[in-house]
């Protein structure tokens, strides 16, 4: 079974589907290896304009495949640390992509699966999807940067409730709390996300990639933002895409950006 489906569309949108519906898309070793290969490929793909991630079947992802833990209970902590760090870093390669990324949370997003969704630039969820991080109820400390991603998305209050008290939120509640950007009826989720991805894909690639870099920098102050923008904006001013964008605006037509 191909545990990761990759569909490339003509407009530059790449749809990645976690494909183990029989395991609620648990992050198996095979899926993890395929994810690593896919992220490595996308990092060099100059035709990709936007990446969308979703799950097959009724779930987004039930998180890490924990079936191996019982067989490794006697393994030393340093070896376990190396294994988990490699697992985390592989799945969080999505944060290193230069193009915008979107998580379409179609169903339950649990633990590490939720963290991968939150690591994307934009997150949209089905209104009835369940989002939870039940690490401590399993006797585990949170992983996959949960203690960073949850507070960063929705503040420390909700993060503490989810990580310490095991609070589960629906997609609709998550949108209100700011954990996800917006929620949609389940049947409309993919069409809505595909529309958003299409809009992103139509924008100028160089300007879009540099804007993502700026947003991820978390500028320390106003001056730091100005210094970055005074360099990045001239880069786009020297591009063919800016000439095309201005011409299209003047001629009242849709621009045709080439990434040059």
Whether residue 55 contacts residue 106, with contact meaning beta carbons closer than 8 Å, is answered with: yes
pLDDT digits (tens, 9 = 90+) for 201-226: 999 999 999 999 999 998 989 999 99
Dihedral angle sign, alpha carbons of residues 113, 115, 120, 124 = positive
Whether residue 120 contacts residue 181, with contact meaning beta carbons closer than 8 Å, is answered with: no
What does the mean pLDDT of the chain come to?
94
Architecture of domain 4-201: Alpha-Beta Complex (3.90)
Query: What pLDDT was estimated at residue 87?
Result: 96
Q: How confident is the model at residue 235 (pLDDT cuts 50, 70, 90)?
A: very high
Query: What pLDDT was estimated at residue 228?
Result: 93
Q: How confident is the model at residue 248 (pLDDT cuts 50, 70, 90)?
A: confident
Q: Is the pLDDT of residue 85 over 80?
A: yes
Query: What pLDDT was estimated at residue 160?
Result: 97
Q: Is the pLDDT of residue 74 over 70?
A: no
- Listed by start position, the domains of the chain span 4-201, 204-251
Q: How confident is the model at residue 77 (pLDDT cuts 50, 70, 90)?
A: confident
Nearest to 159 by CA among 124, 169, 54, 170: 169
Buried b (16+ CB within 10 A) or exposed e, 24-48: bbbbbeebbebbbebbeebeebeeb
pTM: 0.95
Distance CA 104, CA 218 (A): 24
Q: Is the pLDDT of residue 143 over 90?
A: yes
- Torsion of Cα atoms, 209 then 180 then 126 then 102, to 10°: 10
Buried b (16+ CB within 10 A) or exposed e, 152-179: ebbeeebbebbbeeebebbbbbbbebeb
Q: Is the pLDDT of residue 113 over 60?
A: yes
pLDDT digits (tens, 9 = 90+) for 55-73: 999 999 999 998 877 655 5
């Amino acid at each position: 079974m191909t545990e990761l489906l990759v569909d490339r569309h003509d407009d530059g949108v790449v749809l990645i589907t976690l494909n183990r519906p029989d395991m609620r898309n648990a992050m198996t070793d095979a899926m993890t290896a395929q994810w690593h290969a896919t992220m490595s490929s996308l990092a060099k793909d100059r035709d990709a304009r936007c990446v969308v991630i979703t799950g097959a079947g009724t779930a987004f992802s039930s998180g890490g495949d924990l079936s191996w833990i019982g067989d490794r209970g006697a393994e030393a902590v340093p070896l376990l640390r190396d294994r988990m760090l490699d697992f985390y870093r592989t799945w969080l390669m999505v944060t290193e992509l230069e193009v915008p990324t979107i998580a379409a949370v179609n169903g339950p997003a649990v633990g590490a699966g939720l963290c991968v969704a939150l690591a994307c630039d934009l997150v949209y969820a089905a209104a009835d999807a369940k989002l939870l991080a039940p690490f401590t109820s399993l006797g585990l400390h949170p992983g996959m940067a949960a203690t960073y991603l949850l507070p960063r998305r929705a503040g420390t209050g909700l993060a503490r409730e989810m990580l310490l008290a095991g609070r589960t939120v629906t997609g609709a509640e998550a949108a209100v709390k700011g954990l996800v950007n917006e929620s949609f009826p389940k049947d409309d989720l993919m069409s809505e996300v595909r529309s958003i991805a299409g809009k992103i894909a139509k924008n100028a690639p160089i300007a879009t990639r540099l804007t993502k870099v700026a947003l991820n920098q978390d500028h320390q102050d106003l001056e730091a933002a100005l210094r970055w923008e005074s360099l990045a904006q001239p880069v786009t001013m020297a591009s063919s895409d800016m000439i095309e964008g201005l011409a299209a605006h003047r001629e009242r037509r849709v621009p045709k950006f080439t990434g040059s």
